[in-house]
Amino acid sequence: MTEQSQAYQKLAQDHIPKPNYLKNTVNAFWVGGLICVVGQVFNNWFIAQGIAKSTAGAYTAITMIFIGALLTGLGVYDEIGKVGGAGSAIPITGFANTIVAAAMDFKAEGYVLGMAAQMYKIAGPVITYGITSAILAGLVQWLIWR
């Protein structure tokens, strides 16, 4: 960067408002915490129905994905996200939100190359990095513990 650019960026810093860290973090905490409590309610209910613990976890995830997807379709999830931020983006409901939001948005560009291709715009990287790191990490774990 040139000297002039550096001087300008320094001057600009004094004018740039900072996010309200405390408020945002507190909001993320209770919104995210509440979503986890809802998940816990479903999880306990599935277990009470006599479903095995590991299966109940998957059922809970699927139920929460359904809820996240539905609330996105109804236009509610982005309103929750304005308040919750990471609190509603990081739970699995937020993962469902990225898929439905992108898929709805790109319907106009067609059902194949628009909707179906673009629905992974944000979820795709999560799946790609998740699978790649899972294979590497699982392999390392196996090599150590087998």
Partner 1 sequence: METKHIGAQSVAFHSTPGILETFSIVGPKEGRGPWGNDFDTILPDEIYGEKTWEKAERKILIEGLSNVITKSGFEPKAIDFLLAGDLLNQIISANFAAASFPISFFGLYGACSTIAEALILGAMLIDGGYAQKVIAAASSHNKTAERQFRFPIEFGSQRPPTAQWTVTGCGTVLLAAGGPNPKVTCATVGKVVDLGSKDPNDLGTAMAPAAADTLVTHFRDFAKNTADYDLIVTGDLGRVGSSILAELMENAGFPFRGNHIDCGISIFATDEDVHAGGSGCAALAVGYSGYLHKRLLAGKINKILIAGTGALLSPLSTQQNENIPGVCHAVAIEVI
Partner 2 sequence: MDYLIAFVVGGMIVAIGQVIFDTTKLTMGHIMVIYVVTGSMLTALGIYDRIIQFAGAGASLPVSNFGYVLTKGVYEVLLAEGWAGVFNGVFQLAGGPIAAAIFFGFIFALIFRPKA
92 binds partner 1 (CB under 8 A): no
Site for partner 2 (CB under 8 A): which residue of 8, 30, 52, 109?
30
**Is residue 65 involved in binding partner 2 (CB under 8 A)?**
yes
User: Residue 125 touches which of partner 1, partner 2, none (CB < 5 to 8 A by kind)?
Assistant: partner 2
- Pick one of partner 1, partner 2, none as the site partner of residue 8 (Cβ within 5 to 8 A by kind): partner 1
State yes or no: residue 54 binds partner 1 (CB under 8 A). Answer: no
Cβ atoms of residues 91 and 36 within 8 Å: yes
One-letter amino acid for residue 74 of the chain = L
Residue from the set 12, 75, 82, 112 that interacts with partner 2 by CB under 8 A: 75
Closest C-alpha to 81, from 27, 124, 125? 27
Closest CA to 27 of 76, 77, 84, 78: 84
Which residues of this protein are in contact with partner 1, per CB under 8 A?
1-2, 4-6, 8-9, 11-12, 15-19, 24, 72, 75, 77-82, 84-85, 88-89, 94, 97-98, 100-102, 104-106, 108, 121-122
